[in-house]
Amino acid sequence: MIQIYIRKQLAAVLSLAFCFQAVAQDEQPGNYEPINVDGLTRYYRIFIPESYSADTAVPLLFDFHGSGSNPARQEATAQFEPLAEEKGFIVVTPVGAPVPSNGGRNSWNVDFFPGDPDDVSFVRAMIYDISAQYTIDANRIFATGHSGGGRMSSRVACSLSDVVAAIGPNAGIRWPDVCEPERPVPIITFHGKQDAVNHYEVQPDSPPYWLLGVEDSLAGWVENNQCDPAPIETPISESRTRVAYQNCADGGDIVFYRSETDGHIWSDVATNLIWEFFEAHPMNSDM
């Protein structure tokens, strides 16, 4: 029995490593870098703007793809790389692991499932690796993502608030289990009430990872950031409302764009608004 167990575990590891290699190879063109994390070879796509100079520290943006997706698709949707070329920041789009807890799809271990890769360690390793190669502004490291990638950016805010200045989850904000930020984390987030995957309110057919609705997750962050619980709501179109929480501690502002009509999509206003928010919320910002 022990030998059978060992063979199964070895097969799983080899399969995982093969999947990482296949994903990285299949998604060309794009500049992908390998990195060893806990004995596994992981990959990330990286974009460096032409204006980059080692003499000037630049911001670093992590953009996490959704479950079952990949960096190429995420970039084609969010299009942070053209914005990075214009604004002068580095974009990293990591490759998720084919995790058993999410049906073997490329995703993120947001809730620390045993046997799934440690994606918090993956992010820390990427920050260390990239900072060793490029001049990164340590006060301007940010995370965003769609769906499962939005959930991962929420995990980053929980577990890496010492290094990540602010997050911008789209269709995936979470207040995950074992969430212990060291500080109020500024958040800009987007969600549609017609989302049929990550439901606005938890339903009987919600995915098993979707334990809280959007407003309940926001409530966790509002309490963590010590904001006034009653937000100011401002309609910005017939279907979209800006929900802003006020008087948050230490610049931990929370802004939520609620859509009455959006489904499980990348919000058409997200990319620029996320970057504008990030620019205004570096680490240790008084804003």
Instruction: Express each pLDDT in 72-116 by its tens digit.
Output: 999 999 999 999 999 999 999 999 998 776 777 789 999 998 888
When pLDDT is cut at 50, 70 and 90, the band that residue 29 belongs to is low
Cα–Cα dist 161/19, whole Å: 30
Cα–Cα dist 147/138, whole Å: 26
Q: Give the closest residue to 209 by CA, choosing from 150, 256, 263.
A: 150
Question: Is domain 2-279 annotated with CATH 3.60.110.10?
Answer: no
pLDDT digits (tens, 9 = 90+) for 235-282: 999 999 999 999 999 999 999 999 999 999 999 999 999 999 999 999
- What would the two tokens of residue 35 be? 């990195």
The whole-number average pLDDT for the span 221-227 is 98
Contact 167, 190 (CB under 8 A): no
Contact 145, 185 (CB under 8 A): no
Q: Could you give the C-alpha distances from 58 to 52, 125, 191, 233, in angstroms and in order? A: 8, 18, 29, 34
Give DSSP secondary structure letters for 69-90.
Answer: --HHHHHHHH-HHHHHHHHT-E
When pLDDT is cut at 50, 70 and 90, the band that residue 3 belongs to is very low
Q: Model pTM?
A: 0.89
Residue 7 pLDDT > 70, yes or no? no
Residue 6 pLDDT > 50, yes or no? no
Radius of gyration of the chain (CA): 19
Contact 64, 167 (CB under 8 A): no
Residue type, 90: I
